[in-house]
C-alpha cells in the first residue's frame, strides 16, 4: 500500500465514524472495482433501481452493469423513458424506487454531504423518496467544511459538468464559477445533508481513487 492509499484509508475511517453519528452508514473501498461490487451487494432480487446523473457511477462501471442486468432488477433509467409514459409519471417511479444511486459533489471531514443541482431531481431523491440511497464518492471530493464543499462544487465540479452537458455558462467558457444566473445555469439547488432522519437509509461508499468531477 502506498502512503497515499494508506492516507485515504485512514481519512475514510475517520469520516465513517462521523457518518455514524449522523445516522448514515459509511464504507470504504480501495478502488472502483471494489466499490462497484460493494454497491451491487445492497441490491435484492427484483428490486427497483434508479440513479442520478453521475460521472462517478459511470466510471466505476455501475450504470453499465445495471443496464445489462436483464430481469434481475426493475430499472428506471431517465435516459430511456418509455414512450407510453410521461416524464412526470416516470419521475414518480424514480422517486419511489427501492434503491437510488448517486455521487456527492463533496463530503466534509465531519461527514456532511454537499450537493448542488439544476433541476433538483437528484437532491430531491437524496432528501426523500427512495427507500435506500447509495452515495459513491471518490476521496478527491473530501473537503474541510461546508463552505469549502460549496466552493469545490462551483469551481471544480460545475465547470466540467457544464462542458459535458454543453451548457452556455461562464464556467464552461472560463473554467471557474462566475456566480451566474444564466438560463443554462446548473447551480440552482444547494443541499447540505447534515443528518439522515432515518437511520441507515443513506449509505456512503468512499473510494480510494479520484472519481468524477
Global pTM value: 0.96
Task: Quick: pLDDT tens for 166-195.
Answer: 999 999 999 999 999 999 999 999 999 999
Instruction: Write down the domain spans for the chain.
Output: 3-207
The pLDDT-based confidence of 1 (bands split at 50, 70, 90) is confident
Give how far Cα 104 sits from Cα of 4, 39, 86, 132, Å: 22, 15, 28, 15
In this structure, the dihedral spanned by the alpha carbons of residues 104, 52, 73 and 95, taken in order and rounded to 10 degrees, is: 110
The string over 42-72, giving b where at least 16 C-beta atoms fall within 10 Å of a residue's C-beta and e elsewhere, is bbeeeebbbbbbbbbbebbebbeebeeeeeb
Fold of 3-207: Rossmann fold (3.40.50)
3: pLDDT strictly greater than 90: yes
- DSSP for 121-176 reads HHHHHHHSSSSEEEEEEEGGGEESSHHHHHHHIIIIIHHHHHHHTT---HHHHHSS
> What pLDDT is attached to residue 186?
96
Q: Report the C-alpha gap between 118 and 82 in whole angstroms.
A: 23
- DSSP for 69-137 reads -TTSSEEE-TTS--TTS-HHHHHHHHHT-SEEEE--SEEETTS-EEEEESS-HHHHHHHSSSSEEEEEE
Task: Quick: pLDDT tens for 37-95.
Answer: 999 999 999 999 999 999 999 999 999 999 999 889 999 998 899 889 998 999 999 99
155: pLDDT strictly greater than 90: yes
Task: Quick: pLDDT tens for 16-30.
Answer: 999 999 999 999 999
- Measure CA 143 to chain center: 15
> What pLDDT is attached to residue 70?
86
CA–CA–CA angle 23, 28, 32 (5° rounding): 130
Q: Report the C-alpha gap between 197 and 23 in whole angstroms.
A: 7
122: pLDDT strictly greater than 90: yes
> What pLDDT is attached to residue 16?
98
Task: Name the helix (H) or strand (E) containing 41.
Answer: helix 32-41
In terms of Cβ atoms closer than 10 Å to its own Cβ (0-12, 13-18, 19+), residue 6 is exposed
Residue 41 has which C-alpha cell?
A: 451487494
Q: What is the number of other CB atoms lying within 10 angstroms of the CB of residue 2? A: 7
Q: Report the C-alpha gap between 104 and 128 in whole angstroms.
A: 16
Residue 113 has which C-alpha cell?
A: 454531504
Amino acid at each position: 500500500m502506498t502512503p497515499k492509499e494508506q492516507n485515504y484509508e485512514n481519512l475514510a475511517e475517520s469520516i465513517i465514524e462521523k457518518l455514524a453519528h449522523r445516522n448514515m452508514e459509511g464504507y470504504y473501498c480501495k478502488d472502483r472495482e471494489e466499490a462497484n461490487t460493494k454497491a451491487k451487494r445492497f441490491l435484492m432480487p427484483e428490486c427497483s433501481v434508479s440513479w442520478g446523473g453521475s460521472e462517478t457511477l459511470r466510471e466505476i462501471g455501475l450504470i453499465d452493469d445495471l443496464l445489462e442486468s436483464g430481469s434481475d432488477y426493475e430499472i428506471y433509467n431517465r435516459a430511456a423513458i418509455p414512450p407510453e409514459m410521461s416524464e412526470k409519471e416516470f419521475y414518480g417511479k424514480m422517486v419511489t424506487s427501492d434503491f437510488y444511486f448517486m455521487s456527492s459533489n463533496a463530503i466534509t471531514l465531519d461527514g456532511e454531504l454537499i450537493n448542488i443541482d439544476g433541476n433538483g431531481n437528484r437532491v430531491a431523491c437524496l432528501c426523500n423518496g427512495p427507500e435506500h440511497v447509495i452515495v459513491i464518492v471518490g476521496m478527491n471530493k473530501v473537503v474541510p467544511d461546508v463552505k469549502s464543499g460549496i466552493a469545490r462544487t462551483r469551481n471544480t465540479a460545475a465547470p466540467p459538468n457544464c462542458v459535458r452537458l454543453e451548457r452556455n455558462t461562464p464556467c464552461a467558457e472560463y473554467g471557474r464559477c462566475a456566480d451566474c444566473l444564466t438560463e443554462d445555469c446548473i447551480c440552482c439547488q444547494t443541499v447540505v445533508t447534515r443528518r439522515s432522519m432515518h437511520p441507515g437509509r443513506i449509505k456512503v461508499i468512499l473510494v480510494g481513487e479520484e472519481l468524477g468531477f
